[in-house]
Amino acid sequence: MNKTPVYNFGAGPAMLPKAVMEQTQAEFLDWHGTGMSVVEMSHRSKHFTSIAEESEADLRELLAVPDNYRVLFLQGGASAQFAMVPLNLLARDGSADYVNSGYWAGKAIKEAKRLANVHIAASSENENFMTLPQDWQISDDAGYVYYTSNETIGGLEFQSVPDTGDIPLVCDMTSNFLSRRVDVSRFGVIFAGAQKNFGPSGIAVVIVREDFIGNARAGIPSLYDYKVHADAGSMSNTPPTFSWYLCGLMFKWIRAQGGVDTMDARSRERSQALYAAIDASDFYNNPVDPAYRSRMNIPFTLPGESLEKTFLAEAKDAGLVTLEGHRSVGGLRASLYNGMPMAGVQALIDFMQDFEKRHG
């Protein structure tokens, strides 16, 4: 048995709280005295229906989702939403505004361009995505304005919801969902893959305003139509039942911890401690504009790639794993989602300070 706790700083799939993992383990063979595992249950059974209904009710409560929004639990990850959003919100000749803040916004833009007219309302590409785009030019005829609330690779995060007047917002909240309070009524669509802040991979939550349901373009695959899922309670076909169940446990866990405000306070505490440690040293560096630094994903560098390799190897021996930066940018990255305890962050900071003493 490995007695040293292992803290996984991966960007997703990511660490889940120990209590949730233990509950999953305890219930795995026999869910609530049924003699069955959730993985063996029919999605149409009353047992699974209760899991699905409770998960939606808990999520609605956590975010105070207004009644005129539907909550969908869908497959295809956040990436499927890159296509579903234009296919459901825009006619074939329609257009939308996109804000280019980095890698994940770029992916959404690329997909949307295949399906609609895309206008880039703002971009920070010229700043190498080290800051968020300023001076948005919103088109009058935009069907929606799309942005990415947290850039998982760049380590940039919107600290508030942008104001686009009457034009509905669509937001990819994959990497900061349920880590801070948001006013859902400001959005047409919010979507998030689960595998960072609230569950395992295989499922995404889509919160969509009712008037954006039922307008999908003719001729698209039915599984890309929000109405098909809304009408079927996200069970038009077999949903990823186990992933859905685990999201439900996470929603209950977040509620029991005090809700999204507690997640917000903890995420502030975790990220402030790590940024303070990085800023106090000349050895470690985070290049992101301090106004928009992400509380979720903190990229940092050391003086030289060979030191970074040594750091990763020694960190792994100390139980601090998956600290590699994304393959596209290199360097290091610590992801601090809802499942990461402060003890993990403190262990990382202690390790970084010790490493600097020995190698700095």
Smallest gap from Cβ 175 to ligand PMP, in A, equals: 4
Q: Establish if 172 lies at the interface with ligand PMP (CB under 6 A).
A: yes
Smallest gap from Cβ 232 to ligand PMP, in A, equals: 21
The residue with tokens 């790590």 is: 274
Which CB atom, from 205 or from 348, has the smaller least distance to ligand PMP?
Answer: 205
Which CB atom, from 229 or from 283, has the smaller least distance to ligand PMP?
Answer: 229
Short-list 114, 188, 180, 113, CA closest to 149: 180
Short-list 87, 113, 86, 85, CA closest to 100: 113
Considering only residues 49, 79, 117, 139, which one is a binding residue for ligand PMP as defined by CB under 6 A?
79
∠ CA(196), CA(244), CA(152), 5° rounding? 15
Measuring CA to CA, how many Å separate 70 from each of 50, 230, 232, 309?
A: 18, 7, 12, 46
Which CB atom, from 49 or from 75, has the smaller least distance to ligand PMP?
Answer: 75
Please give the distance of CA 154 from its chain centroid, rounded to a whole number.
14
Which CB atom, from 106 or from 248, has the smaller least distance to ligand PMP?
Answer: 106
Rounded to an integer, what distance in angstroms lies between the CA atom of residue 50 and that of residue 88? 29
Considering only residues 48, 69, 98, 104, which one is a binding residue for ligand PMP as defined by CB under 6 A?
104
Site for ligand PMP in 308-327 (CB under 6 A): none
Q: How many residues bind ligand PMP (CB under 6 A)?
A: 11
∠ CA(150), CA(153), CA(157), 5° rounding? 25
Considering only residues 63, 78, 171, 213, which one is a binding residue for ligand PMP as defined by CB under 6 A?
78
Q: Establish if 193 lies at the interface with ligand PMP (CB under 6 A).
A: yes
Considering only residues 7, 8, 9, 12, which one is a binding residue for ligand PMP as defined by CB under 6 A?
12
Site for ligand PMP in 129-148 (CB under 6 A): 148
* Orientation angle between helical segments 241-257 and 18-27, nearest 10 degrees: 130
Q: Establish if 56 lies at the interface with ligand PMP (CB under 6 A).
A: no
Which CB atom, from 172 or from 308, has the smaller least distance to ligand PMP?
Answer: 172
Contact range with ligand PMP by CB under 6 A, out of 31-39, 74-82, 87-95, 235-243: 74-82
Rounded to an integer, what distance in angstroms lies between the CA atom of residue 212 and that of residue 168? 10
Contact range with ligand PMP by CB under 6 A, out of 14-22, 90-98, 169-177, 344-352: 169-177
Q: Establish if 250 lies at the interface with ligand PMP (CB under 6 A).
A: no
Q: Show which residues are catalytic.
A: 104, 172, 196
Beta strands in 223-319 (DSSP E): 297-300
Grouping H, G, I as helix, E, B as strand and the rest as coil, residue 49 is helix
Q: Are 257 and 263 in contact (CB under 8 A)?
A: yes
Residue 104 DSSP class: H
Instruction: Give the nearest residue (CB) to ligand PMP.
Output: 77
Which CB atom, from 55 or from 195, has the smaller least distance to ligand PMP?
Answer: 195
CB atoms within 10 A of CB 170: 26
Q: Are 294 and 150 in contact (CB under 8 A)?
A: yes
Q: Establish if 100 lies at the interface with ligand PMP (CB under 6 A).
A: no
Which CB atom, from 12 or from 199, has the smaller least distance to ligand PMP?
Answer: 12
Q: Establish if 77 lies at the interface with ligand PMP (CB under 6 A).
A: yes
Q: Are 226 and 239 in contact (CB under 8 A)?
A: no
Grouping H, G, I as helix, E, B as strand and the rest as coil, residue 57 is helix
Q: Establish if 154 lies at the interface with ligand PMP (CB under 6 A).
A: no
Q: Establish if 152 lies at the interface with ligand PMP (CB under 6 A).
A: yes
Considering only residues 174, 197, 286, 294, which one is a binding residue for ligand PMP as defined by CB under 6 A?
174
Rounded to an integer, what distance in angstroms lies between the CA atom of residue 47 and that of residue 38? 9
Q: Footprint of ligand PMP on this chain (CB under 6 A)?
A: 12, 77-79, 104, 148, 152, 172, 174-175, 193
